[in-house]
Every structure is written in C-alpha cells, then in structure tokens.
A and B are shown apart, each in its own frame.
Chain A
C-alpha cells in the first residue's frame, strides 16, 4: 500500500471550495445565504474511484458541478493535472471539459428526447469539431460496443430504451471525447438493483480498460464501500471524514458517519440493530480535519 501511495499521482485537487447561494427574502429583509459547499478539500488520484457520499443537501452534487464549472464556485481552487481550472477562460474551459465529463443521475431527463441516440453520443465530437463525419460515426459505433449496446440501435430515440440502457447511452456520451476524469453524479441511483449491478460492473470494466478516474457521487454507502478505494463523507457542505474506504468503514469516527452507517438496513433480520441518532450538538461543525491514521481524516 505504501509503495502504491508513493506512485499515486493527483489528477484532481480541490482546495477550500466554497459555493454560497444567496436567496432574497423580499425587498426589505437581508438576503439569506445557503452555504451549499463550505470549504471542501480533497484529492482524486489517477486511476482511482473516489467516493463522495452524503445525504440530500450535503452539497455533494454542487461540489461535482463546481469542479466542471457548470455552477461557478464562490471561491477556492480546483486543480486538474496541476492547472487551476477556475482561472481558465471560457474557451480554455471548454477544451478542458474534453478531459472531464459527467454522467447524470436521471437517465430520463439527461438525454434529449428529440435526438436519435447515435446523434446524442456523436454530439460532443461535433461540438469539439473532431473528425470527419465518417470518423465520428465509426467512433460512435465503437462507443456503443464499449458500453454494451448494439450498433443497430443507433437510429432509435431515448424513449425506446430502458433506464439501464439509457444510462449506458449517457456513459457512451461521456466517453466520446476520451476523458481522463468522469464525474458520476448518482449515476446508478435511479436504477433497479440488478441493473445497478450491471452498470457498476460496466463502470469498473471501463476504469480498467481506459484507465479512467472517477469521482463517484452517491448516497448509497453500501455501494461506495464496495467499489471506491477512497471516500469523503459530506455533511451540510463540509467533509466530516475522509480517507481509505476500508479504514473508514472499519473505524467510522465522526458522529455523522456513524449515524449514517447505523441507519443502513442490514440484510439479516437477526442482527441486532444499534441505530445511532445524530445529535448535531455533539460535535463542532467548524472543527478542521485531523489525521487519525496514515489515510484516515476526521473533523472532530
């Protein structure tokens, strides 16, 4: 493990990322500020699957979107291969997105219903002006094959596909430009459990074949424990615990992580439940992350 970590190269480094949304409360009252992302830092190494977990409103999706600048962060740094993405011009950012792609949660609303699925997968190539028409079509056929779809389906529309197949189309589109990093934002949450297992297997296969790096945003801790090498747990805009997945699941230390883990239903009716309720007053929300073991950090 120590040899591995010595060889680890950071692909994505997020430092002190902040996104505050202001909401006006009416003409005469002060606008309220929602601190959706409130000083988040983490590093994703090349070739790893990094899990960003939390519940609704924890800021995990906003973090993902800020990295791609689909939402402009309020402050902080996002370094991709050592370059600060937040300083990029519009044009430079567009080019950078060839290397950083996103797969969305809802396979129904994230595909244009009026485009044929072949065109949907081809579109990134068109936008970035890559290849001739013939080359693009060959690439699309190759991508379809890669994600386990049949080339005979290229001319169909999204509504003709099941949820799992649509998510494969979304993955093919994300892969079209040969990215290094894929942000998977709850990419399998909307799928049935057996379909979810197939799509997760596809993501893992692709990771090995294409040397992809994933930022895997999810609320399902069981899944994250299963597939991510490292993980960060978010609660109300902050990372409360992060590090090696095995270390965290073996020794969850932050009260929120413990409450979250204890809430997961266990597949055995005879296992006694030790549900831990979170008492928000039991910890300091402003506590900085401190190191517990070589790759285990906790904010207490």
Chain B
C-alpha cells in the first residue's frame, strides 16, 4: 500500500518559563516515527501527558508557543509539511488533513449555525461559493446520519446533543474530502451507547471515502474496534508498534502490558 503519511523522528519541545534553566525545557515528543498507508487506520494510544495529542498538533503545525518542533520530518503526499510555507500549509489543513477534537462543545463555534460551520471549510478552500457550500453541508449532515438535516443545518451547537455535535464535527472534517483525518479522542466525552454509534459511523465513512485515520485514544477497546495497527506512546516515545492483533495478544513492552492489564475485565 502507498504511504500517505510518513512521520520521521518527530521531536517537540516546550520551553520553560525561566530563561536559561535547561531543566525547564520539556521534550513532549521524543523522536517519534510512524507511517500511515492509504485507507489504513493507525491507533495511537497512551495516557495523559504521553505526547499523543501534541504529535497530532505538530503534524498539522498547530502547536502554540512555548511548544515547537525541534526536529524531524512529516512527509505527507510526498512533501515535508514542516518545511512548507505557511500559505501552503493552510491549503493542507482541512482540505487534505482534517482534525476531529474530543470535546465538540468547545471545538464548535457557539454563535454560528452548524451548517455554516461545515460550509466554511469549502468556501475558505475555494471549493464552492456559500450557496453551493450550504447545500453540500446539508448532504454532509445526511452522510453523518443526522435526521432532518435541512432543518438541523440551521441549528446552533447548543441545540444539539453531544453525539449530534460530534457528528457535526465529523461532517466538518469530511467536507473537503481529505484523504487523512486525525481524530483526537473522538468518543471520549460520549456515553458508551453514543460512542458505539459514532464508531460505527466512522467505520462506515472510512470505507465509503477510503479514508486514512490517525485515531488517538487512551481506550484499548476503541483501538480493538477500529485500528489496523497500533502505536503505543509513553512519555513522549513510541514504545511499541505493530498490527492490532499482535499488540493485543502478545504485547512486548512492559508499559503496553500494564495498560492492557489495567483495562477492567481484561485477562
């Protein structure tokens, strides 16, 4: 399979407040390398502070100071994203790689109709005018299975349930038909029955649009349901990587074993 994303030796540091104090600089991501093939889902697992979300932000060059990429390459569709001028990078974000966040309430604009938030990406990337983009937004709401999509497009985020908001987030991510979606804990804030529906939806869309997925989660159950391969992060490093069955049945690294053993009801 063709490699779509090739992250090589990515390193991210956060500079401390006190100038000159070497100990104050934290290496959040420490020489991380992984690849995602077209149509493949890679699960990136780890606990709070392991560096998995920072990795996602670094790929999209969305890190805020004091965080910065200190080394490595992010090769996507043959180009190193870290070397692109900002103008070219903007053409990648949302159009070629989009991001689904954990908390749909804070990620959506509270004072903008959800249909317009979906249409906005198409307009910004010059793919459609507002009128066409709005009708595309309704189709996307139908694609993520929101009933009565035409009316719902005119709703504000607070009028939707948590599960519906996350569907809107997915519709926004899909709008420009990007080949890669990074989903950062997409179901963590949801109830388990709603999580099941959203995972089913992601699985369906993934097949329909031949999407690659970088799925960031702390939940091995979600990994088992969704991922082809798994990369385990611990303190900024990838400690283990492999096909999902191999990692779940025969974890090699102590940390992976600890994580799996901590899942309630795991053998």
A interface residues, Cβ below 8 angstroms from B? 55-56, 163, 192-197, 200, 219-223, 225-227, 259-260, 262-270, 273, 275, 278
Contacts and interface: CB of A to CB of B under 8 A. Distances in A.
A275 B162 CA distance: 20
29 contacts: A55-B191, A55-B193, A56-B191, A192-B47, A193-B262, A194-B47, A194-B259, A196-B262, A197-B261, A197-B264, A200-B264, A219-B192, A220-B264, A222-B265, A223-B264, A225-B265, A226-B265, A263-B192, A263-B195, A263-B196, A265-B199, A265-B222, A266-B221, A267-B220, A267-B248, A267-B260, A267-B263, A268-B224, A269-B224
Contacts of A163: 48
Contacts of B19: none
Contacts of A262: 196
Contacts of B47: 192-195
B164 to A, nearest CB: 14
B22 interface: no
B86 interface: no
Contacts of A268: 224, 248
Contacts of A269: 224-225, 244-245, 248
Interface of B is mostly: helix
B219 interface: yes
Interface string B195-227: 110011000000000000000001111101100
Interface string B228-267: 0000000000000000110010000000001111111110
Which A-B residue pairs are the 3 nearest by beta carbons?
Answer: A265-B221, A263-B196, A55-B191
Interface residues on B, range: 20 to 34
B259 A275 contact: no
B115 to A, nearest CB: 26
Interface in B66-91: none
A38 B47 CA distance: 38
Nearest to B193: A263
A200 B248 CA distance: 23
B245 A270 contact: yes
Contacts of B261: 197
B258 A264 contact: no
Nearest to B227: A269
Given A264-B221, A265-B221, A221 B245 contact: no
A273 B195 CA distance: 14
Which of the listed residues B219, B248, B262 has the most CB atoms from chain A within 10 Å of its own CB? B262
Which of the listed residues B191, B199, B265, B266 has the most CB atoms from chain A within 10 Å of its own CB? B265
B192 A55 contact: yes
Nearest to A57: B191
Given A263-B195, A269-B225, 20 more contacts: A55-B193, A56-B191, A193-B47, A193-B218, A193-B259, A194-B258, A219-B191, A221-B192, A223-B264, A225-B264, A225-B265, A264-B192, A265-B221, A265-B222, A266-B221, A267-B221, A267-B224, A269-B244, A269-B248, A278-B193
Contacts of A266: 221, 224-225
A227 B264 CA distance: 9
Which of the listed residues A192, A223, A225, A260 has the most CB atoms from chain B within 10 Å of its own CB? A192
A270 B246 CA distance: 12
Nearest to B260: A267
Which of the listed residues B47, B48, B263, B264 has the most CB atoms from chain A within 10 Å of its own CB? B264
A226 B263 CA distance: 10
Contacts of A200: 264
B191 A265 contact: no
B235 to A, nearest CB: 13
Nearest to A163: B48
A188 to B, nearest CB: 10
Nearest to A264: B192
Nearest to B245: A269
A221 B263 CA distance: 12
B262 A197 contact: yes
Which of the listed residues B193, B222, B260, B266 has the most CB atoms from chain A within 10 Å of its own CB? B193
Given A259-B193, A260-B192, A275 B225 contact: no
B263 A222 contact: yes
A264 B196 CA distance: 7
Contacts of A195: 47
A275 B196 contact: yes
A221 B264 CA distance: 9
Contacts of A220: 264
Nearest to A195: B47
B32 to A, nearest CB: 20
